[in-house]
């Protein structure tokens, strides 16, 4: 059997693919803005599909807009090995988050095709719709529907900040397929991704193998105040929704310290109405994101901060409404596959490290229905979800080599 040192991906071809994708939705600051179901997402999907066609893959687009490219195996009835990630990005996001995992899997396919290597099992490449959850909350919705964890029609009805519906936008960009979005048997799912944190760089390692993904809990908070002219209205007796939100936001920031545990808590999005400097704000919406490896700690933290929110709202006379938008439990990967990632990296001569993913990935939902593992490469300066997000081309190539050999091994298992 071919050993890891005998076959390598083409690093410059991978770089060219990543650079072509980085040109779609490129921002002046060197990042990309390719929000899900926008024209930029469509253009990147179209290019991806063109590349899948060139490889003669069997292409399927399902009713959530997930794009699959299947390469037959010698034993075509066996469950496939699958790999991919997402093409969508954050607003002013980076050139690697998500797209590296899609282009990495594409480079694996290209390497297998040009070397005329046929695996026992079929291999499937996937682009999952709306991983980011930034335009339409929550995140990872399409792998969630595929895995049976989220309801398709609930996702179809989600709206962006301008009131546009998810399903309408999916249709508008012509990526609402007719194939049901429903899980099929998968032998192993590998997702290749940038780390998005500082650990690999700090430890001087090239490859990370997460043992799993933290839990993700998202909430939406709506506060109502009383608008009035700021000049004549005395300070006493005001119902200022933005001041209520300000107090609440700091409670969220204090939460990890207060709980004394391993967790993070963030308010990242806020809308203030009517957003005029001389009107007391009467409507505020903000989001809360809580993550931990310990689901119970995250839930207890939420209960504590929710009680704070209620007492702040009461004291300020600002009625509060809270939506528990999304919960995904922490997701421990298949230990055997995690070890395999470490073993393949070691065989290839890449220093590697077991770790935990603090970022959410479609691998979280995949892990609910198939044996799953991920491959991480370093993020320079630990920066991600920003335009300066960077990973060296050598590391991009190294991670793709690990992906290639992890996929080859499992695709040749009977």
Residues interacting with ligand GLV, by CB under 6 A? Answer: 132, 139, 359-360
Residue 344 contacts which entry, ligand GLV, Mn ion, none (Cβ below 5-8 A, type-dependent): none
**Minimum Å distance from CB 3 to Mn ion?**
31
Burial per residue of 133-155, b for 16 or more beta-carbon CB atoms within 10 angstroms, e otherwise: bbbbbbbbbbbbbbbebbebeeb
Cα separation, 362 vs 191, in Å, equals 8
The C-alpha atoms of residue 108 and residue 102 are separated, in whole angstroms, by 10
User: Could you tell me the smallest distance in angstroms from the CB atom of residue 208 to Mn ion?
Assistant: 14
CB of 368 to ligand GLV, least distance (A): 17
- Shortest distance in whole angstroms from residue 385 CB to ligand GLV: 7
Under the binding rule (CB under 5 A), the answer on residue 191 touching Mn ion is: no
Residue selected from 97, 169, 195, 389 as contacting Mn ion according to rule CB under 5 A = 97
Q: How far is the CB of 35 from ligand GLV (least distance, A)?
A: 13
**Partner from Mn ion, ligand GLV, none contacting 145, C-beta within 5 to 8 A by type:** none
**340 phi and psi angles, rounded to 5 deg:** -65, -40
CA 399 – CA 395 distance, rounded (Å): 6
The nearer residue to Mn ion, 35 or 404, going by C-beta atoms, is 35
- The rounded distance, in Å, linking the Cα atoms of 239 and 282 is 8
Instruction: Name the minimum Å distance from CB 193 to Mn ion.
Output: 6
Q: Single out the segment in contact with Mn ion by CB under 5 A; choices: 95-103, 146-154, 172-180, 281-289.
A: 95-103
Residues 120/78, Cβ–Cβ less than 8 Å? yes
Alpha helix (H) ranges present in 63-205?
99-114, 141-146, 152-156, 166-172, 199-203
**Is the bond preceding 274 in cis, omega lying within 30 degrees of 0?**
yes
Which is nearer to Mn ion, 73 or 98 (by Cβ)? 98
Q: Which residue is nearest to Mn ion (CB)?
A: 98
Site for Mn ion in 274-293 (CB under 5 A): none
* 8 Å CB contact between 393 and 198: no
Closer CB to ligand GLV, residue 89 or residue 111? 89
Q: Which is nearer to ligand GLV, 112 or 363 (CB)?
A: 363
Q: Which of 25, 31, 73, 98 touches Mn ion by CB under 5 A?
A: 98
Give me the residue label for tokens 């421990």: 332
Partner in contact with 370, chosen from Mn ion, ligand GLV, none, beta carbon below 5 to 8 Å by kind: none
Residue (of 27, 35, 320) closest to 164 by Cα position? 35
Contacts of 70 (CB under 8 A, 6+ apart): 57, 58, 59, 60, 80, 122, 123, 124
360 binds, among Mn ion, ligand GLV, none (CB under 5 to 8 A by kind): ligand GLV
Out of ligand GLV, Mn ion, none, what residue 31 binds, judged by CB under 5 to 8 A for its kind, is none
Q: How far is the CB of 131 from ligand GLV (least distance, A)?
A: 6
For residue 288, give Cα distances in angstroms to 139, 251, 301, 309: 14, 11, 12, 12
Secondary structure class of 237 (helix, strand, coil): coil
- From ligand GLV, Mn ion, none, interface partner of 139 (C-beta below 5 to 8 A by class): ligand GLV
Indicate the residue among 100 and 407 with the shorter CB distance to ligand GLV: 100
329 by Cβ neighbours in 10 Å (0-12 / 13-18 / 19+) ranks as middle
**Contact residues: Mn ion, CB under 5 A:** 97-98
């Amino acid at each position: 059997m071919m050993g890891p040192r005998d076959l390598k991906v083409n690093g410059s071809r991978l770089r060219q693919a990543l650079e072509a994708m980085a040109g779609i939705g490129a921002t002046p600051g060197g990042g990309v803005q390719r929000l899900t179901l926008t024209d930029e997402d469509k253009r990147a999907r179209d290019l991806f599909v063109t590349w899948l066609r060139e490889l003669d893959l069997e292409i399927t687009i399902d009713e959530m807009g997930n794009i699959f490219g299947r390469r037959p195996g010698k034993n075509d009835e066996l469950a496939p090995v699958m790999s991919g990630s997402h093409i969508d990005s954050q607003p002013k996001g980076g050139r690697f988050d998500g797209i590296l995992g899609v282009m990495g899997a594409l480079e694996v396919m290209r390497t297998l095709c040009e070397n005329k290597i046929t695996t026992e099992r079929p291999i499937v490449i996937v682009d999952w719709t709306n991983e980011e959850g930034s335009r339409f909350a929550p995140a990872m919705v399409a792998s969630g529907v595929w895995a049976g964890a989220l309801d398709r029609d609930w996702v179809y009805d989600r709206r962006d900040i301008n009131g546009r519906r998810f399903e309408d936008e999916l249709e508008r960009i012509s990526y609402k397929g007719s194939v049901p979005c429903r899980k099929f048997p998968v032998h192993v799912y590998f997702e290749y991704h940038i780390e998005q944190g500082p650990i690999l760089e700090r430890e001087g390692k090239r490859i990370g193998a997460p043992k799993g993904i933290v839990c993700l809990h998202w909430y939406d908070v709506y506060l109502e105040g009383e608008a009035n002219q700021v000049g004549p209205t005395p300070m006493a007796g005001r119902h200022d929704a933005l001041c209520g939100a300000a107090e609440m936001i700091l409670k969220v920031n204090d939460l990890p310290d207060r709980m004394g545990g391993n967790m993070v808590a963030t308010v990242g999005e806020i809308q203030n109405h009517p957003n005029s400097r001389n009107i007391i704000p009467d409507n505020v919406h903000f989001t809360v994101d809580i993550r931990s490896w310990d689901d119970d700690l995250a839930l207890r933290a939420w209960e504590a901060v929710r009680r704070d929110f209620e007492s702040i709202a009461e004291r300020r006379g600002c009625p509060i409404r809270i939506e528990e938008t999304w919960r995904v439990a922490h997701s421990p990967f298949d230990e055997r596959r995690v070890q395999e990632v470490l073993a393949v990296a070691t065989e290839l001569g890449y220093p590697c490290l077991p770790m935990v993913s603090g970022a959410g990935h479609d691998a979280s939902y995949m892990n609910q229905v198939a044996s799953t593992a991920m491959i991480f490469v370093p993020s320079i300066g630990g920066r991600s979800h920003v335009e300066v997000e960077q990973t060296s081309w050598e590391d991009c190539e190294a991670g793709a080599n690990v992906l290639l050999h992890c996929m080859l091994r499992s695709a040749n298992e009977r």
